[in-house]
Structure 1
Amino acid sequence: NYVIRKMLFTKKKQKWDWNMIVSYEFMSKNFQLVEAIRELEFSRMFNLSEDYSEQFDDHLFRFSTEFNQSKIANLKYHLTYFSRLPVVNALRNEIVVSTQFKSFTFNTITSYLYSKNNNMFTSYINTDNLISKEVKYLVVGVKENLEYDLFKDRLSNRLEINSFAFNDIKFFIKNQDSTAYKYQLSYKNRVDHRVNNRNMLSLHSMVHEAQGIFEMTKLKNHKIRAIATYRNSALVDSANLLRPEHYGVGSIDYTGRFLKNFIILSTFYEVGNGMEQKRNYAFIKVFDGQGTHVWKDYNNNGIAELDEFEIALFRDEANYIKVWLASNDYVNTLNNQFSQTLQIRPASLWYKKTGFLKFLTQFSNVTSLRITQKNLRSNSIQAINPFYFNSSDSNIINQQWQFKNTFSYNHYSSIVGADFILQNNLNKSLLYYGFEQNRINMQEFIFKLKPHKILYFYSHYSHSLKKNDSEYFESRNYQVDAHLIENSLQLTLYNNFDIILSYLYQYKRNLLQKEKATRNQVELSALLKLPEIGNLSAKIEYASISYNENDNSSLAYEMLEGLKIGNNFIWSLNFQILVNKFLELNLQYDGRSFERKRLIHTGNLQLRAHF
C-alpha cells in the first residue's frame, strides 16, 4: 500500500483533507483460502460467474482518492482493476458523494464495471441515490436504486439469460429525529426487466408499494412500533400482459416494563395475505459424516424412499441432506402471526426486602408463546384470529404453535436450584402429497444441588407425548408416550479434572398400537483441562434396550433413538489441542457396538483458525 495525506485550503480558508491510497494484491493459484478474505459481494461487484482461482493467479489493483470538508462535502473516487489472466479482466469505477447544503442533503454511490472473459463481456451500472430536504419538522426525500447489468456472448453479441435491469424509486416523508415519536409515510415503485425470447430486455414485473411506520419511544419503560404495508405486484405472463396481485401486511410490536422490571411483557402481532407454495423435498447423498439424515431400508427393496429417511443420531451414518424443491403450485392465503413473552422476576423489586418477600425473590417465571398460521381465503374471518387453533381444519394449511413455561427456584444459584418446564409444540404443513402434522407435549422437572465445592448432583424427570400424523405415509403415524428419569453425580478434583457418573431410565409406549420400549443406561465421562495445552475428554455408555416388536421400522427408530435391542456400547475420546493463540486442533474418536452387530469406529480431525 502507498498512502498520501494532505491538508488543502481554499480562498475562504476552508480546510479540506485529501487522501490518496494505491494498493496492489497478488494471490497465487496455489494459495489455499481458509476463509473468505474479500468483500461478501466481491463476485457480484465484478460479475464473476465462475471461480477460476484454483487455475489462475489473481491480480487486484486499487486506486482511491478522497476530498473531505466536514461542513461541505465528502467526495471519493475508486478505481479497481481485477484480473485472472488470461481469463478475466475487469475495470470498475466508483464515485461516492455526500454533501449537505442548508436544508438539502444529497448522497450517491455510483459505479460502472466493464469486464470480459473467454466467453463473454459484461457491462454493469449500479447507482444508489438519496435527495432530501428538511421542511420545518419534516424531512421529504427521494431514494433511488438502479442496476443495469448486461452479459453478452463475445462471438454472437447476444444477451445471456442472466442479464437484468431494475429501477427502484421511493418517495418518503418523515419527521426529524425525535426521542418521543417517529413516523414515516412512503411510496415505492420498482420495475424489473429480464431477457425475453427476442433476446432483448423487456418488462418482467412492476411493484407499487405504500407503507406507513409509527414508533413511540416517549415513555421510558414502554415502546410501541406499528407498520402497515400495501403492495401491488404484477408479473408479465406468456401473453405479455401484467397479472396484478394485491398484498397487505400490518404489524404491531409492544415492549413494556413494569414495577422496576418485576414484570417484562413483549407482544407482537401481524396479519397479512400472500401465497403459499406447496413444498416438496428430496434427499441427496453426500460424503460420509457430512450430512444430517440416514437412510434405513425398512422394506429391504434397495430403493431409497421418502419415508425411509431419519435424522442421523450418529455422525458416521449422516450421509444424506434434506433439500427442499421448488414447486409451481401456489395457493392464496391469509396469514397471521402472534408472539408473546412474559417474565416475572420478584428479585428485581424485592431484593432488599426481608421475610416472606425475600423468600419470593428466589422464584421466577418465564412464559413464551409463538403462533403462526396460514389460512385459505375462504376462511378470512378466522384468519386474523391467531387463537383459532383447530389443527383438523383443512382451511388452515400451515400452522405452528410453540409454548414454553419455565418456573424456576434459585435460577442463578450455584448451590441449589430447580426448574419446572411445560412445553407444547405443534407443526402442521402442506406438502405436495397432503398434510403432515407433528405435536409434542412435555413436562420436565430439573433439580440441581452442589453440597460441596467438589460435588454436583443433577436430577431430571420428563414426561412427553409425541404425535405424528401423515396423510400419505401411514408408517409415520404414531403417538409415543414417554417417561424419562436421569440422575448424575459430578466430582471435581484439583479444579481441572471432572468425573461424571449418570444413570438413565426411559419407558416408551405407542398409544396407537402395542409397541413398548424400555431403556436402562449408565454413562461414565471424564474431562481433564490442561492449561495452555487443551482439553482431554472421554466417555463410555452402556444401554440395555428391550422392545416387543421388530426394530426395522420408522417407529422403532423413534422409540429406540437409533439404538438396537439388547446391549449397546458407545464410547468416545476427544483431544482438543491449542497449537497457538490462533490455531486449535481437535482429534476425535467415536466407537459403538450393538448386540450381534459389527464394531463401528469413526475418527475425525479438525483444524480451526481464530482471527
Structure 2
Amino acid sequence: MKDFEVVSDTITIDSISISPYNFKVLDSAKQLIDSTLYSVNFAKAQLYINKPKFKRITVQYTALPEFLTKTYYKFDESLIVPQATDLSRLYSVQKSTINKNFLPFDGLQTSGSILRGFTVGNNQNAVVNSNFDLQISGNISKDVQVRASITDSNVPLQENGFSQRLDEFDRVFIELFSKNWKISAGDINLFNTTNQFLRFNKKVAGVQVDVMTESEENDTHFFASGALVRGQFARNSFTGEEGNQGPYKITGTNTEEFTLLISGSETVYVNGAPLTRGENNDYIVDYNTAEITFMPTFPITGSMRVVVEYQYADRNYTRFVTYNGAEYKNDKLKLGVTFYNENDVKNQPLQQDLTTSQKVILSQAGDNEGLMVAPSAYNAAFEENKILYKKELIGSEEVYVFSSNPDDELFRVTFTYVGEGQGNYVIQTTIASGRIFEYVAPVSDIKQGAYEPIVQLTPPNRLMIGVLNADYTPTEKTAISSELAYSSNDVNLFSSIDDTDNEGFAGKFKWNQILVDRNWKFATGVNYELIHKNFRTIERYRNVEFSRDWDLLNTEGNQSYLSTNLSLSNTTKGIVSYVFENLNYSENFNGIRHNLLTNLKLNRTKINVNSSLLSNNTNAYKTDFFRWYSHGKHHFSKSWIGAELNAESNKRYDKSTSELEDISHKLVEYEAFFGVGDTAKVYAEFGFNYQVTDSVQVQRLQKVNAAKTYFMRSKLIQNEASNLSLFVNYRTIDHTNFDDEESLNSRLLYRQQFFNNGVSLQTAYETNSGVLPQQEFNYVEVDAGLGYFTWNDYNNNGIQELDEFEVAQFQDEANYVRVLLPTINYIKTNQNKFSQSFTLNATGWSDKKGFKKFLSHFVNQSFIVIDGKVKRENSSFNLNPFAVNDALALNQSFKNSLFFNRGKQFFSTTYTFINTDNKNAYSINNQNNKLKSHQLLFNHRIKQWWLLDVKTSFSENKSTSDVFTSRNYTIQSKEFNPKISYLYSTNSRFEMLYHLKDKKNIIGDEEALFINTLGVNFIHTTGKNFSVNSSLNLVFNKFTGETNSAVGYQLLEGLRPGTNYTWNVSFQKRINSYLDVTFNYLGRKSESVKAIHTGSLQLRASF
C-alpha cells in the first residue's frame, strides 16, 4: 500500500509489474474510488487518472516477482549460426516490407514520460500544464555512452524533507562519456575534496568537461566547467536545549527570519560527529520553513553542540561560477593546478531591484555591512488586497500608517526585524496577504518595537581562488605533499573602499615517513601551514570543531599551524599515536596542544582513547583546556560489557585580573552498559550515564547540575511473523540553582501476524519533548487550477481576510496556496505519537464448512493514529497517548471497516466508522475540526448485466475557532445514494443514480440544506486504445440561511440554492504505442449565474 499526491494524470506505482488481483485505489478518506475514474497498465505499474478529482490517493496492490515478468528463451541465441547455403531450404524468409513505427530513443534503455497540456475556461485564464520525467542510458555509438535524467514539473514548492529519500523537481542531468572524456550538463555537482584550501561542494546548473589521457608512464586529467550557482554555503551553530527535540530554527548568515534551504544540501553535526537524515535515523528537515527536528532515538541535551552546514537559495544577483584545472601523475609524482571563480553580475539583480540611491549607498559602504542599510519605502499605486501605507506626522516624527484609501499618497514598505527594543514598529495584525505594522512611540527615549522600515542591501561579490599542489612519493615509506593557494575576495563590487584587504595567500607542506615497517609499523610526520589573514575559502576547511578545540574567540593576524606526530600501528591490533600541535595568530594568539589517540582491538576487547591538553595565550586571556574521552568494550560469546569516560576542564583566566572568566567550565561524564545477543539480529543493551557540570560561581568552578540517564536499545523479536524493537532514554537533571528537569524519549515498534496472516497487528509508539511553533501564514495567488484554496469575500469589504479562504470545491476556483511565514515564537511541549493497525481476515477458512465457512466472508480492518502535543509544565510528561483533552496540537484519526464478501460483487457490504479530531495552534487563532461518520456500502451484481450500489451515511462535522467565530459550526449530515449500472458489454456501462442529502448546522443561525441529485453516467472502453467517461447531474438545493458565509459554502459545496447542473466528458485515446491524448471537459450551471466551462487537453508520450 502506497500514498501518492496527484500532481499529474500519470502515477508510477512501482518499478516492477503488479498484479491486477486485489488492486484498489482509495481516496484521502480511505474510500474506494470507482474504477471508471482511472485505468491501469499493470505491466508497467502505471496508473492513469481519467478525472482529476482527487488530490491524494492510496493504492493497494501486489508486486509480481521478477521471474514471472522476465523474458525467457528456449534456445541460446548466441549458439545459432546462419545456414551457409540455401540448397536444403524448403522455404525462405524475407524481411517484412511493412514500415516499422517510429520509436523515440530506439536502441536506448529509456523509462518515463512527457506530458504537455493546457486548461482553458470562461472562469479562469489559460493555464499550461507540463510534466517531464525521462531516464535514458545506453550506447549512442560504439564508443560513446549516454546517461540522462530529466525531471520537470510545475509543482510550485519543493517537497519537504520528512523522508530519507528526497525527490527533486525541475532537475535536468545529461552525461555523454567515453573512455577518455566525459561531458556533463544540466544540474550537476561541482566539488573538490583533495585540495586543503579549495574544498567545496556546490549544486549548480551548467556544463562540465573532463578529458583524460593515459599511458604506461603517466596520466593526465583536464577539466573545465561553467555554471549558474543555485545556492550559497552557510553555517549555523547553536546549543541544544535540555529535553527539546525541536524543531530548531535554522537562521541565515545574517540571522534572517526566512531562509530557503536547498533540498539535501545540509550536513548536521552534533559534538563534531555527522548525523544521518531520515525518520528512522537521527533527524528530519523541513526545507520550506528551515527547521530541523531530531528523532526520539537521538536525544538532545543541553550540553550538545549542533552545527548545520547547508546551502541556501541566494537569488540577489545572477551568479556565475567557473571551475577549471589540470592534473598530471605518474608512479611517484602528482602535480595539479586548479582555478575557481565565483562572482555576481552586479548589473543583473534578481530579487532586489536596486535604485540609484541604493547603489550610491553601496558604493560608499565599502565592506561595512552596517552601512548597507536603506529606507525600504517607495511610491506605489493603489491595488486591492495589497498592504500599502501612507505617511503621517506624529509629534515631530514622520511615520508610516496602513491605508486602503486610493486617494492617499501610498507607499509599499518592507519592515525588517531588528530585535526587541531596537525598533519603532510592531505587528498590528495579520491578514491573508501579509502582516500590517504599526508605529509605537518611544517611552522615555526607549524604543518599544522590534521592526524598522528599512531593508538590508546585499552587495554583489566575487571570490577567486587559485591552487597549485604537488605530491611526491620517492619510496614506499616516504610521502611529501605541498600546496600553495591565492584568493581574491571582494565583498562589494560596487565599492573600491576597503579593497586593500581583498587578497591573501596560503601554503602547506606535509611530510610522512615510515621509520619501521614490520609487524608493528612505526611512523612519523610533519605538517606546516601558513595562512595570510586576508585569505578566504569557499567553505570550511578545518575540523568542524576547530575553534572549540583551540578555545578561539576573536583571532587576528596571519595564521601559522604546525603539527608533528608519532604513531605505532598494526593491521589487526589497531593504532596508538601522539600529535603535537602549535597554532599561532600573529597579532593575538598562540597555543600548544598535545593529543593522545588510541584505537586498539586486543582479542575480544576494544579500547578507544582521544585526549588532548591545550595551553594558549592571547592579549586578553590565557587558557588551560584538558579533554579526555575513552571507550572500552569487551565481548563475550553472546554478550558484551563496556564503559565510557568523558571529561573536560576549561579554565580561562583574564590576564588583567587573574580571575576565571564566565566561559570556564568543567564536565565529567561516566557511562556503563551491558548487552546481550547479536546487534544484527536480536539483542538488548542497557546502560547508565552520569554527568556532572561545573561552572564559574564566585570565581570558582562549582557544581551547577548533575544528570542521570538510563537507556535501553533493543530488537527483541525478529522473524517472518513478528518484529519488536524498543528504545527508551530517561534523563533527570538536578540543578543547583534552578528547578530540576526530567525528559523521556522512547520508541516502540511492534509487528505481529497470527494464524497464517488471519490476524495482523502493527503498533508504533513514540514519546519526546519539543516545541510547537506559533505559525503564521498568508495566501498567495497562483494560476487557476494550481492552488488548493479559493477566496470568498464574505463581508464584502474587498480585503482578503484569513477566515475568508476555503478549500476549493472546483478546479477553476483553486487559485491560492497557503504559505507559512517565519516565526520566532515557540511553545514548549511534550509529544506522544501512537499508531496501530489491526486486521482480522477470515478468508482463509473459505474451504471450511459450518460456522468457519460463514466467518470466511468477513474481514475487519482498524486503523488508529494519534499525534498530540501538550504544553510542557514543570518536568511532568504524560505517557497516555489517549489523554488529548489539553492538547495544543492534535492529529487524531480512527477508522474501522467491516467487510462482507469484499470485492466479490455478491451482496458485498462494508460498514465504516470514522472519527477524526484535528487541532492547530496558530499565532492568532486555535482551530479545531472534528468529524464523526458512519457509512454503509452495499454492492451486488444482479445476474450478468445489472450492478446495484447503495451508500448511506450519517456524519457530524464540527469546527471550532477561538477568533474567527464565523467558522464555528456543527453540521449534521444524512445521505442516501443508490446507483444502478447496466453492463451491456464488458467494455461499456450505463449508470443511473440518485443522491439524497440532508445537512444542517445545529448551532448559530442553524443553516440547513436539503439536496436531491439525479444523475447519469456513461463509461466505454475499447481495450487499451480508447475510453470515454461522461456524466450529467441535476442538483436541487433547498437552502435556508446566508449563502455568502463559511457555513453556507460548506453546506452548498460550491453550488447555489435552487437548480444546479453539473456535467463532465472525458476522452482518452492511444494514438500509437507511446502516445496518448486526453481531453476533459467540465461544466456547471446554477440559477442566476452564468455557466462555467472548463476544458483541458493533454498529450502524453511514454518511453
1:113 CA drift (Å): 9.5
State the AA in 2 paired with 1:271: T
Residue of structure 1 aligned with 2:1081, choices 579, 589, 597:
589
Q: Is the 8 A contact 2:681 2:715 kept in 1?
A: no
1:601 CA drift (Å): 1.2
1:412 CA drift (Å): 3.1
Residue of structure 2 aligned with 1:344, choices 840, 843, 862:
840
The answer for the alignment partner of 2:341 in structure 1 is 116
CA distance in 2, matches of 1:313, 1:276: 31
Alignment of 1:528-567 (within 5 A): 528-567=1020-1059
The answer for the alignment partner of 1:519 in structure 2 is 1011
Q: Is the 8 A contact 2:717 2:723 kept in 1?
A: yes
Q: How many residues align?
A: 493
Task: Normalising by structure 2, report the TM-score.
Answer: 0.41
Alignment of 1:131-280 (within 5 A): 167=544, 178-181=680-683, 213-228=713-728, 249-280=745-776
Please state if 1:603 is matched with 2:1095: yes
Q: Is the 8 A contact 1:24 1:62 kept in 2?
A: no
* Greater alpha carbon shift after TM alignment, 213-222 vs 417-426: 213-222
1:480 CA drift (Å): 0.4
Q: Is the 8 A contact 2:893 2:915 kept in 1?
A: yes
Residue of structure 2 aligned with 1:59, choices 183, 190, 207:
207
Alignment of 1:424-503 (within 5 A): 424-503=915-994
Shift in CA distance, 90/465, structure 1 to aligned 2, threshold 3 Å: same
CA distance in 2, matches of 1:504, 1:492: 21
CA distance in 2, matches of 1:80, 1:183: 51
RMSD in angstroms over aligned alpha carbons?
4.3
CA distance in 2, matches of 1:159, 1:427: 54
CA distance in 2, matches of 1:83, 1:294: 43
1:25 CA drift (Å): 7.8
Q: Unmatched 5+ residue regions in structure 1?
A: 1-20, 52-57, 67-76, 95-111, 125-149, 188-208, 233-244
Residue of structure 2 aligned with 1:405, choices 896, 902, 913:
896
Q: Is the 8 A contact 1:483 1:507 kept in 2?
A: yes
CA distance in 2, matches of 1:523, 1:605: 25
The answer for the alignment partner of 2:792 in structure 1 is 296
Q: Unmatched 5+ residue regions in structure 2?
A: 1-141, 154-169, 175-184, 192-200, 215-219, 229-318, 328-336, 345-461, 467-486, 494-498, 503-533, 546-609, 611-628, 634-674, 690-708, 733-740
1:610 CA drift (Å): 3.3
For CA contacts below 8 A with separation 6 or more, give which structure has more relative contact order.
2
1:433 CA drift (Å): 1.2
The answer for the alignment partner of 2:802 in structure 1 is 306
Q: Deviations over 1:272-293 (max 9, x none)?
A: 1011111111110001221111
1:38 CA drift (Å): 2.4
The answer for the alignment partner of 1:236 in structure 2 is none
The answer for the alignment partner of 2:697 in structure 1 is none
CA distance in 2, matches of 1:286, 1:159: 46
Q: Is the 8 A contact 1:26 1:60 kept in 2?
A: no
1:462 CA drift (Å): 0.5
Q: Choose between structure 1 and 2: higher strand proportion.
A: 1
Q: Is the 8 A contact 2:775 2:923 kept in 1?
A: yes
Shift in CA distance, 164/538, structure 1 to aligned 2, threshold 3 Å: farther
Shift in CA distance, 589/25, structure 1 to aligned 2, threshold 3 Å: same
1:267 CA drift (Å): 1.3
Q: Is the 8 A contact 1:22 1:64 kept in 2?
A: no
Q: Is the 8 A contact 2:187 2:204 kept in 1?
A: no
1:358 CA drift (Å): 0.6
Residue of structure 1 aligned with 2:851, choices 356, 369, 391:
356
CA distance in 2, matches of 1:557, 1:91: 61
Shift in CA distance, 451/79, structure 1 to aligned 2, threshold 3 Å: farther
CA distance in 2, matches of 1:526, 1:371: 42
1:529 CA drift (Å): 1.2
Shift in CA distance, 44/470, structure 1 to aligned 2, threshold 3 Å: farther
Shift in CA distance, 248/582, structure 1 to aligned 2, threshold 3 Å: farther
Q: Deviations over 1:537-575 (max 9, x none)?
A: 221111000111121111000011111000111112222
CA distance in 2, matches of 1:172, 1:599: 78
CA distance in 1, matches of 2:883, 2:898: 27
1:454 CA drift (Å): 2.7
Residue of structure 1 aligned with 2:225, choices 67, 79, 82:
82
Task: Normalising by structure 1, report the TM-score.
Answer: 0.71
State the AA in 2 paired with 1:600: I
1:182 CA drift (Å): 7.7
Residue of structure 1 aligned with 2:1071, choices 579, 583, 588:
579
Q: Is the 8 A contact 2:960 2:969 kept in 1?
A: yes
Q: Deviations over 1:447-473 (max 9, x none)?
A: 000123332111000100010000000
CA distance in 2, matches of 1:318, 1:486: 27
Q: Deviations over 1:435-494 (max 9, x none)?
A: 210100000000000123332111000100010000000000000000011111122233
The answer for the alignment partner of 1:377 in structure 2 is 872
Q: Secondary structure at the match of 2:873?
A: helix
CA distance in 2, matches of 1:536, 1:575: 5
1:401 CA drift (Å): 1.2
1:360 CA drift (Å): 0.7
CA distance in 1, matches of 2:790, 2:536: 40
The answer for the alignment partner of 1:242 in structure 2 is none
Residue of structure 2 aligned with 1:389, choices 857, 876, 884:
884
CA distance in 2, matches of 1:352, 1:424: 36
State the AA in 2 paired with 1:362: H
State the AA in 1 paired with 2:748: I
1:335 CA drift (Å): 0.8
CA distance in 1, matches of 2:817, 2:537: 30
Residue of structure 1 aligned with 2:825, choices 311, 323, 329:
329
Q: Deviations over 1:208-239 (max 9, x none)?
A: x998642234454221112346899xxxxxxx
CA distance in 2, matches of 1:211, 1:534: 62
Q: Deviations over 1:353-373 (max 9, x none)?
A: 211111111011111111111
Shift in CA distance, 59/420, structure 1 to aligned 2, threshold 3 Å: same
Q: Is the 8 A contact 2:864 2:895 kept in 1?
A: yes
Shift in CA distance, 32/332, structure 1 to aligned 2, threshold 3 Å: closer
Q: Secondary structure at the match of 2:902?
A: coil
CA distance in 1, matches of 2:846, 2:221: 59
CA distance in 1, matches of 2:1091, 2:686: 66
Residue of structure 1 aligned with 2:171, choices 36, 53, 58:
36
Give the share of equivalent positions with the same residue, in percent.
Answer: 26
* Greater alpha carbon shift after TM alignment, 36-45 vs 288-297: 36-45
Shift in CA distance, 525/230, structure 1 to aligned 2, threshold 3 Å: same
The answer for the alignment partner of 1:3 in structure 2 is none
State the AA in 2 paired with 1:500: E
CA distance in 2, matches of 1:172, 1:414: 65
Query: Larger Cα Rg: Structure 1 or Structure 2?
Result: 2
